[in-house]
A = this chain, B = another copy of it.
Amino acid sequence: MRLSGVGEFGLIKKLRDMCAGDSPGLIAGIGDDAAALKTGNKKILITSDMMIEGVHFDLSFTTFYQLGYKFLAVSISDIFAMGGRPGYFFASLGIPRSFKASDIEELYTGINEIAAESGVTVAGGDTCASGAGFVLSGTLTGEAKKVIRRSGARKGDGIFVTDTLGDSAMGLRLLRKRCRRLRSFSSSSPRLRLMKKHLMPRPRPAGNLPAITSMIDISDGLLADLSHICDESRVGAVIYRDKIPVSAELAATAKDLNIDPVELALKGGEDYALLFTAPPDIKTGAFRIGEITGKRRFIIDEKGRKAVFKAEGYEHFR
């Protein structure tokens, strides 16, 4: 069977079955945002992410600085999603021969920028020639007092997201149309802010970690990532369409372009906000969008109509 048939999630499940991962030091293995190891008196988190030119980024509208920033940002988001504090970053680069040394220095300026903002130390990596496009593979370590997994959601928990959703997906649409690089975000135009959210996401940790029962970062899209939580926790969920947080910038731009902003918030992806579950009445700055239930997965619209959702989307309200 071709991989395009199995899909990424199908493949990960197969590989998870092949790798026993039954080491006594391994708290969380394949299938979470990061692996968690108990080593000595500490819990260490490790996450790896690969970015490939033409698949994950487009240099026609991304500067090397922005790419470096985002390269580390996506890994920081994974560490936050496990309840951790990021530590050391290892960057492996497969570099086309046509690149200039200054391109890679600009990339590292972006990496160093978010590293400094987030207390990360850039500690090593590997560089090699690439025959095809630019390939980046990053590994970030972290530490956590309590490792928060995808599998801890319980019936009755509230479902929360830490930021507005869909901005990045709209930013990507605008960038694709514009198709040239943005060197400055100094203007306060709403469209620029959306494009910046796509190019340079700035992950932030969740508050009130001790109360959180499960967590994931929203990279595939809210419905897909909530489905991962439901799969791993063996629970259902109900979310309310009118509680999905949408920024004023997204609402205005979506209106201009005649797009439903909530659709982008549900399915867009690359938000790098956190989705977590916790007792419904906890104090948190996050947006509560629904509850964990026994089994079935519903989205309820403004008129109270229910639709079943899946990782790929939902069937339309009838």
Residues of A at the B interface (CB closer than 8 Å) are 1-6, 8, 10-12, 14-15, 18-19, 21-23, 25-26, 29-30, 32, 34-35, 37, 39-42, 44, 46-50, 52-56, 87-88, 90-95, 97-102, 104-105, 108-109, 112, 121-133, 135, 137, 139, 141, 143
Contact = CB atoms under 8 A, between A and B. Distances in A.
How many copies of the chain does the oligomer comprise? 2
Contacts of A102: 1
A42 B23 CA distance: 18
Given A94-B50, A108-B19, A139-B139, A2 B132 contact: no
Nearest to A39: B42
16 contacts: A2-B98, A3-B95, A14-B105, A15-B108, A18-B108, A19-B108, A25-B121, A26-B88, A26-B121, A30-B122, A35-B88, A39-B42, A39-B87, A42-B42, A50-B126, A50-B128
Contacts of A23: 88, 121, 123
A21 B90 contact: no
Contacts of A19: 108, 112, 121-123
Given A23-B121, A40-B41, A49 B92 contact: yes
Question: Closest 5 A-B residue pairs measured CB to CB?
Answer: A132-B132, A137-B137, A23-B121, A35-B124, A19-B122
Given A15-B127, A46-B90, 11 more contacts: A1-B102, A2-B99, A5-B101, A19-B123, A39-B44, A40-B41, A40-B42, A46-B88, A49-B92, A52-B128, A94-B135
Nearest to A42: B40
A78 to B, nearest CB: 10
Given A130-B52, A131-B54, A122 B21 contact: yes
Contact of A124 (B1, B30, B126, B128): B30
Nearest to A88: B37
Contacts of A105: 14-15, 18
Contacts of A130: 52, 55, 135
Contact of A132 (B37, B40, B123, B133): B133
Given A39-B39, A105-B14, A50 B137 contact: yes
B56 A128 contact: yes
B94 A48 contact: no
Contact of A2 (B22, B92, B100, B124): B100
A310 B50 CA distance: 35
Contact of A137 (B32, B44, B48): B48
A101 B37 contact: no
Contacts of A112: 18-19
